[in-house]
């Protein structure tokens, strides 16, 4: 049976599934220096979350690995090409956290337009700013989704139930899928921003999408809804840090091109102390907790161990993310 390292934690239930199949599970966090020195060479598989970075140097030192498993969706902390060229299969668990991220995204949208975080801070300071904290409704507004995968589709469904008109930009999406979701698909991200006062990010972080949301893109946003309401512009990102240029967001908040911004993910995590963006009154954030629910973590753990066992036993796995690089 296999020896499996778990570097960023795993539920007891998921650990038990592996152990009942005869696998040895070692739960321990390793520093970068340990990873680069080949500590994972003692294992057949490793399960990570976002904290552990499996670079080409780490992978080169881990010659006995057969499987790298990302307990979650994003795999930008894993060098997929290096893994594939080393014959290591990389799998993830993309479905498990979908509902949790959808709900957090909607929560941030609502908090933005109704000044929930801003009101809370004000009341903690002993103020009663009822007249100042007038918001706007989501109903009747254009919501632009950058990327239209499972999470974006879930957000779009709820947004439509609240009366929003949903738009999307996804160059890899068959138009039929957008049509089936009653969503207007844009050919360019520029036209998406030009038509939408509310933007939510749902794409992967790649060279192409790094700082895709920048000051010039934000300036394209209309600030006015189709029914003529001056609702301002709002951006939410619960996808990956680095897609949004945070310095540009601060600039847009300062000059009024953005009425609000809400981030669950940041380019550098954890965020540095005294970060100017976090101090802005029209900004609110969460510390990368999109998948941090009891339900999602249970599903993630069970899904990822099943994927690992499928690969180890030579069975079909639908969640291999580095097929293009595997030898």
Per DSSP, helices labelled H in the chain are: 12-20, 32-36, 56-60, 80-85, 98-113, 116-124, 150-161, 175-180, 189-195, 215-218, 246-255, 276-279, 294-312
125-175 residue pLDDT tens:
999 999 999 999 999 999 999 999 999 999 999 999 999 999 999 999 999
pLDDT confidence of residue 189: 98
**Mean pLDDT taken over the chain:** 96
Q: Could you confirm whether 288 is annotated as catalytic?
A: yes
* Alpha-helical runs (H) found in 184-291: 189-195, 215-218, 246-255, 276-279
Residue 271: is its pLDDT beyond 90? yes
pLDDT digits (tens, 9 = 90+) for 108-131: 999 999 999 999 999 999 999 999
Number of alpha carbons in the 13 Å side-chain half-sphere of residue 148: 29
| Catalytic residue selected from 202, 240, 284, 299 | 240
Q: Would residue 269 show up in a list of annotated catalytic residues for this protein? A: yes
- Say what the pLDDT of residue 73 is: 86
Q: Where are the domains of the chain?
A: 3-96+294-312, 98-285
Average pLDDT value for residue range 48-55: 93
Q: Please provide the CATH number assigned to the domain covering 98-285.
A: 3.40.50.720
Can you say whether the dihedral through the CA atoms of 94, 97, 99, 104 is positive or negative?
Answer: negative
The predicted pLDDT at position 210 comes to 97
Identical fold between 3-96+294-312 and 98-285:
yes
Active site residue 240: yes
Structure confidence at residue 59 as a pLDDT band (50, 70, 90): very high
24, 31, 216, 269: which is the annotated catalytic residue? 269
Query: Exactly one of 23, 202, 288, 299 is catalytic; which is it?
Result: 288
CATH of domain 3-96+294-312: 3.40.50.720
């Amino acid at each position: 049976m296999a020896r499996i390292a778990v570097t960023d934690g795993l539920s007891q239930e998921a650990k038990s599934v592996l152990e009942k199949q005869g696998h040895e599970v070692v739960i321990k966090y390793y520093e970068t220096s340990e990873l680069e020195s080949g500590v994972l060479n003692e294992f057949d598989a490793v399960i990570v979350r976002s904290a552990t970075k499996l670079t080409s140097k780490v992978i080169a030192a881990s010659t006995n690995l057969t499987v790298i498993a990302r307990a979650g969706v994003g795999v930008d902390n894993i060098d997929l090409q290096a893994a594939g060229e080393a014959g290591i299969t990389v799998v993830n668990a993309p479905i498990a956290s979908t509902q949790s991220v959808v709900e957090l995204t909607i929560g941030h949208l609502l908090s933005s337009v109704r000044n929930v975080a801003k009101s809370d801070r004000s009341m903690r300071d002993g103020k009663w700013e009822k007249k100042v904290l007038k918001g706007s409704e989501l109903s009747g507004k254009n919501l632009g989704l950058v990327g239209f995968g499972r999470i974006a589709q879930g957000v779009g469904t709820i947004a439509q139930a609240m009366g929003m008109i949903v738009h999307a930009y996804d160059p890899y999406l068959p138009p039929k899928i957008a049509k089936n979701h009653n969503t207007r698909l844009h050919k360019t991200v520029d036209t998406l921003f030009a038509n939408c006062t509310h933007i939510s990010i749902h794409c992967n972080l790649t060279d192409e999408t790094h700082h895709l949301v920048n000051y010039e893109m934000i300036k394209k946003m209309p600030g006015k809804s189709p029914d003529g309401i001056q609702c301002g512009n709002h951006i939410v990102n619960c996808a990956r840090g680095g897609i949004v240029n945070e310095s540009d967001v601060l600039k847009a908040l300062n000059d009024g091109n953005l009425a609000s911004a809400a981030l669950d993910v940041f380019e550098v995590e954890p965020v540095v102390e005294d970060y100017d963006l976090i101090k802005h009154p029209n900004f609110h954030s969460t510390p990368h907790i999109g998948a941090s629910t009891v339900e999602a973590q249970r599903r993630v753990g069970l899904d990822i161990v099943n994927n690992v066992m499928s690969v180890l036993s030579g069975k079909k796995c639908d969640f291999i993310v580095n097929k293009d690089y595997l030898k």
